[in-house]
Amino acid sequence: MPTLFKGPKKEPRRQFSGDPEDFRLSLVEHLEELRDRIIRSLAIITVAWIVGWFIEPTLYAYLNEMVWKAILPVLPKNVSIGEAFRNASDAFMLKFKLSFMIGIIIAFPFIVLQIWGFVMPALKPKEQVPVKRLAPFSSVLFCMGVGFAWAVLPSAMKWFASYVEEFKGVGLIQEPGTLVFFTLKLLAAFGIAFQLPLIVFMLGELELLSAETLLKYWRQAATGIFVVAMIVTPSQDPMTMLMMAIPLVILFMASVYVVRFTQGRKKKARMLDPDEVDSDSNPFV
């Protein structure tokens, strides 16, 4: 039986050919691509959240034990300690929040891939080469940030707990999961913050920022790093802020000098052969 009313035929989405000049999208197509990337990212987070829901009991028990091992030695003797929920619904909400935070940490590398997939068509083939080769280092830097936070976490917990003895006759009764949730937020914050060197290096590779400009305004950049560290750290205390800001400043300066070196090589190659300058002149890509 013939169909009387047919809707407009939807054209298949064009495949990326490698050159953005051959892949100019309309505003609607850009929005469709952004929508698809967001939906995929939400689906990834949902799956990771489900995984986090099942591994949360084991991970919570391990983190909680580690935190209390760091705190107990510095607490005053005979101080009353313990954990208690205030409401019957608090246990479910704690599991809900912890599993979501675990899911975010698990899903982060995959979300970065979605961001890269959305940005890639805007880059020329020569620009894609360094970015494509450096993109996997995002996961490495994320793990470095998590590892650094994990290494300094016991010392930070001891420093926090050491102030309890200043208040005589005060016990330590807290809600379950408070310190574990703080730990997960700290790990995620450090992992995300350690993406800064990669961002700086990619901007330098794409020649959107020059090493001279970065070196000229390094004081302002360092101040900005300290401000960002103060904002994103879960507790906003000076020690945690310094724990994040100092290694970020070091990584930032290291990435600036690497950008300076690679841009210098590109400049020399351009002077030797202005018509043929590609990523092969850069040993880091």
What letter would DSSP give residue 285? -
Cα gap 158→167, rounded to integer Å = 16
Q: If you average pLDDT over residues 90-95, what whole number do you get?
A: 88
Q: Would you state the pLDDT for residue 7? A: 46
Q: Please give the DSSP secondary-structure letter assigned to residue 235.
A: S
Q: Report if pTM > 0.75.
A: no
Longest CA–CA separation in the chain, Å: 87
Q: What is the pLDDT of residues 143-153, one digit of tens each?
A: 888 888 888 88
* Residue among 192, 213, 216 nearest 203 (CA): 213
Q: Report pLDDT digits (tens) over 28-73.
A: 777 888 888 889 999 999 999 999 999 999 999 988 888 888 888 8
- Please state the rounded mean pLDDT for residues 117-144: 74
What is the 8-class DSSP label of residue 7? P
Q: Quick one: pLDDT at residue 72?
A: 82
CA distances to 57, 101, 175 from 87, in Å: 20, 22, 10
In tens, the pLDDT along 167-220 reads: 777 778 888 888 888 888 888 888 888 888 887 877 777 777 777 887 787 788
- Cross-strand pairs, 83: 174
Q: How far is CA 155 from the centre of its chain?
A: 23
